[in-house]
Amino acid sequence: MLAVLACEWARAHRITLHMFHVHHGLQVDADQWQHRVHDLAHQLRVPCHSVRINIDPKNGKGMEAAAREGRYHALAQLAGKVQVSHMLLGHHQNDQAETVLLRLLRGAGPHGLAAMSPVSIRNHLYLVRPWLDVPRKKLEALADDYAGQTGWYPVADPSNQQDQYTRSALRGRLVPELDDRWPAWRGNVVRHARQSAEAREILQEVALGDFETLAPSGDKTSFSLARWRTLSPARQTHVLRYWLDFHGLPMPSEARLHELIKQLRNLHALGHDRQMRLHHANHIISCEKGRVNLLGVGKIVR
């Protein structure tokens, strides 16, 4: 339905629209789904581009995470091929509410609870999610109307009902109970995500301001240990998270981050600190001559 409505808008504004489809190769009917997408594109008179990806179930990330990572990589490739910079994604209110619940259950902090952003950048591609406040039921009603007018019907991914996947288990077990007891819970949870996003933006501004007081190097791979120690404990922690995120590194576990903070607090401000070397995500966090450094494999991270 996002494709249908986007086509109407694009024609009215004389904008060229492309449809992308990623074939994950995980379902027996996936070939037919690919044909259905191209049928819809033909009906809408817009070009459609497909790519098939291979998902490694033994990559250590889990099937859901591996499929998501592969999908976004493939979409970025398709966008580069046809030279588009913005992509519309059909995530809706149900998706957003489920994402908040999953991240809450996994112990995510304020950054994680902001869930999906209406606009974000990934692989140099702007991802736009215009329907995060739109309930799935409304979209299903639109799809039924469209099917009645055109004879084109959407397909259902059976993995959405397969309990071995975390999101499907949440959707099948917990969501019905929430719907029964708190019918308006999705809107409340999505509102919480918006508020968390606002808090995240403020925290990012604070972290950036704090980091600039640490006499950072030009490439931001090092900063002053002595100045870091002048921050409050909470801001010391937050600026370290900002520093690692700026360089595209995953967040360490809480225990690992606390170990880093403990070592930094116990070091001498100047000298006698070369023994401090902590490995994280194929990088090394070290301290030398009063400077905290982020090192890559054999080189400084740029």
Whole-number Å distance between alpha carbons of 26 and 247? 33
Whether the CB-CB separation of 63 and 55 falls below 8 Å is answered with: yes
- Is 73 in the same domain as 176? yes
* Stated length of the chain: 302
Give Dmax (Cα) for the chain.
76
Q: Over 90: is that where the pLDDT of 90 sits?
A: yes
- Is 162 in the same domain as 267? no
- Pick from 128, 107, 103, 105: nearest CA to 118: 128
- Going 237 to 242 to 247 to 249, the CA torsion angle's sign is positive
Whole-number Å distance between alpha carbons of 230 and 188? 39
Confidence of residue 122 (pLDDT cuts 50, 70, 90): confident
- Is 276 in the same domain as 167? no
Confidence of residue 179 (pLDDT cuts 50, 70, 90): very high
- pLDDT tens, residue by residue, 135-162: 999 999 999 999 999 998 888 877 777 6
Domain assignment of residue 198, yes or no: no
- Is 126 in the same domain as 230? no
Q: Over 50: is that where the pLDDT of 3 sits?
A: yes
- Is 70 in the same domain as 115? yes
Domain assignment of residue 142, yes or no: yes
- Going 185 to 189 to 191 to 195, the CA torsion angle's sign is positive
Q: What is the pLDDT of residue 112?
A: 83
- Is 41 in the same domain as 92? yes
Q: What is the pLDDT of residue 302?
A: 37
Q: Over 50: is that where the pLDDT of 212 sits?
A: yes
- Average pLDDT of 277-282? 86
Domain assignment of residue 270, yes or no: yes
Whether the CB-CB separation of 261 and 267 falls below 8 Å is answered with: no
- Is 131 in the same domain as 20? yes
Confidence of residue 109 (pLDDT cuts 50, 70, 90): confident
- pLDDT tens, residue by residue, 247-267: 988 888 888 899 999 989 887
- Is 17 in the same domain as 147? yes
Task: Tell me the C-alpha to C-alpha distance, in Å, between residue 97 and each of 89, 104, 121.
Answer: 16, 11, 21
Whether the CB-CB separation of 59 and 66 falls below 8 Å is answered with: yes
- Is 167 in the same domain as 37? yes
Domain assignment of residue 205, yes or no: no
Q: What is the pLDDT of residue 123?
A: 78
Domain assignment of residue 147, yes or no: yes
Q: What's CA 256's distance to the chain center, in Å? A: 22
- Pick from 276, 232, 238, 277: nearest CA to 257: 238
Q: Over 60: is that where the pLDDT of 282 sits?
A: yes
Number of structural domains (the chain) is 2
- pLDDT tens, residue by residue, 27-79: 888 899 999 999 999 999 999 999 999 887 676 667 778 888 889 999 999 99
**What tokens were used for 7?**
């086509």
Domain assignment of residue 200, yes or no: no
**What tokens were used for 188?**
């409340």
Whole-number Å distance between alpha carbons of 25 and 53? 7
185 vs 161, higher pLDDT: 185
Task: Tell me the C-alpha to C-alpha distance, in Å, between residue 186 and each of 96, 179, 194, 231, 242.
Answer: 8, 9, 12, 38, 30
CATH number of domain containing 244? 3.30.465
Domain assignment of residue 194, yes or no: no
pTM: 0.81
Domain that holds residue 285: 213-295
Summary count for the chain: helices (H), strands (E): 12, 9
**What tokens were used for 142?**
């639109």
Q: Over 80: is that where the pLDDT of 110 sits?
A: no
Q: Name the helix (H) or strand (E) containing 154.
A: none
The residue out of 140, 165, 181 marking a domain boundary is 181
Confidence of residue 207 (pLDDT cuts 50, 70, 90): very high
Half-sphere exposure of 48 (CA within 13 A, CB side): 18
CATH number of domain containing 96? 3.40.50.620
Q: What is the pLDDT of residue 226?
A: 92
- Is 161 in the same domain as 22? yes
Q: Over 70: is that where the pLDDT of 274 sits?
A: no
- Is 30 in the same domain as 71? yes
The residue out of 161, 181, 201 marking a domain boundary is 181
Beta 291-295 vs 222-224: how paired, if at all? antiparallel
Which range among 84-93, 104-113, 156-165 has the greatest average pLDDT? 84-93
Whole-number Å distance between alpha carbons of 299 and 283? 10
Q: Over 70: is that where the pLDDT of 278 sits?
A: yes
Buried b (16+ CB within 10 A) or exposed e, 17-50: bbbbbbbbeeeeeeeebbebbbebbeebebebbb
- Average pLDDT of 285-289? 89
Domain assignment of residue 208, yes or no: no
Q: What is the pLDDT of residue 299?
A: 45
- Is 16 in the same domain as 153? yes
